[in-house]
Chain A
Amino acid sequence: MNRPPRSGRGGGRTRPPVRPPARRLVALLAVMAFGFSGILVRLVVLQVKDASALEQLALRQRIQRITIPAERGTIFDRSGQELAMSLPAKAVYADPHVVTDPSAEARAIASTLGLDETTVRAALQERVVNGRPVRFVYLDRGVDVGTAKRLADQDLAGIGFLAESRRYYPAADLAPQVLGYVGLDGTGLSGLELQYERILAGTSGSRVFQEDPSGTLIPQAGSVAIPPRPGDDLVLTIDRDIQYRAQVALQNAVRTNHAKGGTVLVMDPKTGAVLAMASYPWFDPNRFDRSNPAAQRNRAVTDAYEPGSVNKVITAAAAIQEHLFNLNQRFTVPDQMMVSDHLFHDAEVHPTEKMTLGDIIAYSSNIGTIKVAALLGQQRFASYLYRFGFGRPTGIDFPGESAGILPPSDGWWGTSMGTIPIGQGIAVSPLQMSAVYATIANGGVWVQPHLVEGVVGADGRFTPVAAPATHRVVSSETARTVTDLLAYGVDVGTGKQAQIPGFWAAGKTGTARKPIPGGGGYYADRYVASFIGFAPAADPAVLVAVVIDEPRTVFGGIAAAPAFRDIARFALARLRVPPAPRLPAPPHAIRPG
């Protein structure tokens, strides 16, 4: 077989021989076609069929969303001092599955956060719950940012941080029952924190950004931030200094009298603004989880008690308002008297005396008061109790207010006209009773007590709350006369220890027996002693109620009146009320010699 000649240098050009496609080329083509078909199919699967799911997966891997908690509003006292405030904080958590050395990490975490090492080590141990490994465990909440940063700098495996905020009560146990507290998640759980949750909480924001698998921010991808809307601030009617002084005086009164507890309330009788409110024992809201739940109750608002003799002011006001008798009229008052089937008696044994209404109030005569109430009649007397606010909540802006217990007048017992005029057989909250005295101090007009003066929005604008509800209960003349009687009681009667040097105070003592829970009468040896009064009597600026629970000295004039004096004197100075001379005693208030 002859081969075609090769073209050589200088040789003529020759066309390469055309050869039929080789088999392997065809095979290669087939393989390539198959390969490309596979790629095409895969592309279709990725780009069409699974496109949406893969896109979501990619976004989930890249996109991070961080919730930015809203800063809870601050609670200020009436002069702008912080009583409760929030600061950014961190929650520290662990993923036990990722933790590499539980013992070493527990040691580092415990020393940085001040936690128990054993507890932390136990939390870091891998475990399975309900067949699934635990991947999230809180190690600590509300850690301040600086401490959290110190821990983050140690770069411990499996330890993470979440943004949150922490509530602080800088004055610790000042007005704790009024302020209440918030839970670990920043939600108000009691007190004003609960009542004004919607205003204080604000709205959380968020920040969306992209990061690579190593967690590094991808700056070119941009980010979207929805800023949180901080909660509004509350401005209370509480005065921090008066509150402190009231708590000190209450604590002293409880300890001096070896009492079980006590409640104090200071109020501006003209506006219904509560200047101080506390119950002893109290607690530190910064560590509310370690406190006794009973100490967390704001007993001035949520608890009802039988008020005792402080209730006599209603009997007196009703009698004066109804012009039942001349104020110079003298009642024949023995030291005991039968009402229905029960024998009532005065606190002290005394011969039958002739007493004016002023004397009856000043010396807190039970029998005299029952006689005056009898002149009023059951229905009329009950209507005054209702008009003074008994049997229903005052409507103060505080959760869980007690309405007290006032049985309907058609359901009273035969002895009710003996017990109720002297403050037994009914129950009221200290706030309700204070509102009665505020009505007298305010010229006969009942004013709804309130704790919040206004709200400060994010723009810094102060919006006052709606004006408190008011209604007239007795005439201003009646209120003036009752004030005279109450001032006379402080001058010469059971309230002598409530006298304030330089001021003319008016008020009434109370000593009430404590009922046995569930019925069955009263304890023989358990009393509630109280004093409620206001000053200056001529132009009242401050009202103080002191209630002492189970004091060793049962009389309100001894157990509670000195605390009234201390608190009222301080409050008058704080409110810059100048001393005023004592007015002469009313002519009708003269005890027979």
Chain B
Amino acid sequence: MAPAPRGRRRRIPFVILSALLVSVLVVGVVSVQAFVAQTSFKIQDLTDRTQALRQSYGDLRLDVARLSAPGRIAREAHGLGMRLPGDVQSVQVSEPAAAPPDPGRRGDSFALKGLIGEHP
């Protein structure tokens, strides 16, 4: 078999290098694309989750508003045997006559200061 010509032998490393380079580039581009796609789907997932949580928050707000509605509470209370108050009597409490101040006696709150200090 005749030996390969010198020119062809010289081209072999170049071809291998080129093939490697192209392979690396292809793998790189594919990886980047895959990463972009993955991130995009992740964003979509998170958006969906955010939306679901927002929906859940809204539902809970609605539940709270419904449950705290006066009509519902009144119905529940009525079911438990409670009734709206009838006639309410108002009692006027006369103000007790103020005792003359005793300069030697300090109020209870001041007495506490002995225990807890002037500036607790």
Contacts and interface: CB of A to CB of B under 8 A. Distances in A.
Given A217-B44, A220-B37, A170 B87 contact: no
A87 B120 CA distance: 51
Interface in A166-187: 168, 170-174
A138 interface: no
A170 B66 contact: yes
A581 B92 contact: yes
Interface in B59-104: 59, 61-62, 65-66, 68-71, 74, 84, 87-90, 92
A219 B41 contact: yes
Interface in B1-55: 33, 36-37, 40-41, 44, 51, 54-55
Contacts of B69: 170-172, 174, 240
Given A502-B90, A569-B88, A173 B71 contact: yes
Nearest to B43: A219
B90 A87 contact: no
Contact of A85 (B62, B89, B90): B62
B88 A170 contact: no
A579 interface: yes
B28 to A, nearest CB: 15
A172 B72 CA distance: 10
B70 A219 contact: no
Interface in A212-257: 217, 219-220, 240-241, 243-245, 248
A81 B55 contact: no
A88 B55 contact: yes
A85 B37 contact: no
A217 B41 CA distance: 9
A174 B71 contact: yes
B58 A171 contact: no
A87 B65 contact: no
Contacts of A248: 74, 84
Contacts of B65: 81-82, 85, 168, 170-171
B36 A220 contact: yes
B70 A87 contact: no
Interface string A304-331: 0000000000000000000000000000
A145 interface: yes
B87 A501 contact: yes
A252 to B, nearest CB: 10
A88 B58 contact: yes
Measured as residues with beta carbon below 8 angstroms from the partner, the interface class of chain B is 20 to 34
A248 to B, nearest CB: 8
Contacts of A569: 88
Nearest to B70: A244
Interface in A497-543: 501-503
A241 B74 CA distance: 11
A501 B89 contact: yes
Interface in A69-87: 81-82, 85, 87
A245 B73 CA distance: 12
Contacts of A217: 40, 44
A579 B92 contact: yes
Contacts of A88: 51, 54-55, 58
A87 B66 contact: no
A92 to B, nearest CB: 17
Interface in A48-96: 81-82, 85, 87-88
A81 B90 contact: no
A240 B59 CA distance: 21
Contacts of B51: 88
A241 B58 contact: no
B40 A579 contact: no
Interface string A238-281: 00110111001000000000000000000000000000000000
A270 B55 CA distance: 41
Contacts of B87: 501
Contacts of B62: 82, 85, 87, 168, 170
A245 B74 CA distance: 10
A243 B61 CA distance: 21
23 contacts: A82-B61, A82-B62, A82-B65, A85-B65, A88-B55, A145-B55, A146-B55, A170-B62, A170-B66, A171-B69, A171-B71, A174-B70, A217-B40, A219-B40, A219-B41, A241-B70, A244-B74, A248-B84, A501-B87, A501-B89, A502-B90, A502-B92, A569-B88
Interface of A: 81-82, 85, 87-88, 144-146, 168, 170-174, 217, 219-220, 240-241, 243-245, 248, 501-503, 569, 579, 581
Given A85-B58, A88-B54, 17 more contacts: A82-B61, A82-B65, A88-B58, A170-B62, A170-B66, A171-B65, A171-B66, A172-B69, A173-B71, A174-B70, A174-B71, A220-B37, A240-B70, A245-B70, A501-B88, A502-B88, A502-B89
